[in-house]
Amino acid sequence: MKAMSDDTQPAAVRARGIVKSFGTGDTQVTVLKGIDLDVYLGELLLLVGESGGGKTTLLSAIAGILDIDEGDIDVFGVPLSTLPAGKRTTFRGQTMGFIYQQFNLLPVLTAAENVAVPLLIQKAARPEALHRARIMLDRVGLGDRAEFLPKNLSGGQQQRVAIARALVNEPRLLICDEPTAALDGPNGQKIMELLREVGRSPDRCVIVVTHDSRIFHFGDRMANLTDGRIVGIERIKQEGTA
């Protein structure tokens, strides 16, 4: 049976009272003004909202990449703020995959090497890491581009390399910032099918920031981030359900 949000199930991600400002004095902007959010195992949560509204900031906070000013974030029961920086990085590497809005590929590495990076960080042997990276590239439709450098790939192909890199170590929490922004309709659908498959695993979950209404139906719930707050969370009606 599919694991889904109910009051009895602990959240995989539990954010409470998240406040984050940038800048100081007159130029200070409070981007997150008290965010409460739960993400449950077995779900794909969509996060939508106006440009500049703080979606990327929230994802970075959940990933423990960005320090917050106030609030608490637990990921799989671990309070991120209590972990020293080194342990947080290790925890992130073991449990999370992150697809950045800017793809952040390493320009001197081939597609396969880029995808293998998370495995190499986890101390996998290089041939095994590259083998798994090529399998993952194949799944995103880039089996024939494994030896290309990022500069010789199109924007959409680079995005798919970044997606393969985020998926390769089978993270329990997958965080995706506009994963289909550079993709055409069919490739966007294909990627969302992959992400939904991850989200449907009973011990994994996916957060997807998107502006792309063509992919909304892949989500289980949609949270709307406006003016620094989650102003609504709605369950998305799945095709074929009443």
Residues at the interface with ligand ATP (CB under 6 A): 22-23, 29, 31, 49, 51-57, 101
Per-residue binding letters, 110-149, with Mg ion (x by CB under 5 A): ----------------------------------------
- Is the Cβ of residue 29 or residue 108 nearer to ligand ATP in the bound state? 29
- Is the Cβ of residue 101 or residue 189 nearer to Mg ion in the bound state? 101
Min CB(203)–ligand ATP separation in Å: 28
Which option in ligand ATP, Mg ion, none does residue 79 bind, with CB closer than 5 to 8 A by kind? none
- For residue 177, count CB atoms less than 10 angstroms from its CB and return exposed for 0-12, middle for 13-18, buried for 19 or more: buried
Q: Does 56 bind Mg ion (CB under 5 A)?
A: yes
Residue 76 is classified by DSSP as T
Min CB(29)–ligand ATP separation in Å: 6
Min CB(178)–ligand ATP separation in Å: 7
Min CB(72)–ligand ATP separation in Å: 19
Is 125 within 8 Å of 119 (Cβ atoms)?
no
Residue 233 CA: distances (Å) to CA of 39, 46, 199, 220, 239: 11, 9, 18, 10, 19
- Residues 54 and 20: their CA atoms lie apart, in Å, by 9
Q: Does 159 bind Mg ion (CB under 5 A)?
A: no
- Is the Cβ of residue 113 or residue 212 nearer to ligand ATP in the bound state? 212
Min CB(177)–ligand ATP separation in Å: 7
Is 210 within 8 Å of 242 (Cβ atoms)?
no
Is 196 within 8 Å of 2 (Cβ atoms)?
no
Among candidate residues 75, 50, 6, 80, the one with its CA nearest the CA of residue 209: 50
- Is the Cβ of residue 56 or residue 158 nearer to ligand ATP in the bound state? 56
- Is the Cβ of residue 48 or residue 192 nearer to ligand ATP in the bound state? 48
Among candidate residues 237, 202, 201, 231, the one with its CA nearest the CA of residue 219: 237
Which option in ligand ATP, Mg ion, none does residue 54 bind, with CB closer than 5 to 8 A by kind? ligand ATP
Helix (H) or strand (E) holding 89: helix 85-95
Min CB(60)–ligand ATP separation in Å: 8
User: What are the two backbone dihedrals, phi and then psi, of residue 168, each rounded to the nearest 5 degrees?
Assistant: -65, -35
Residues forming contacts to Mg ion in the complex (CB under 5 A) are 55-56, 101
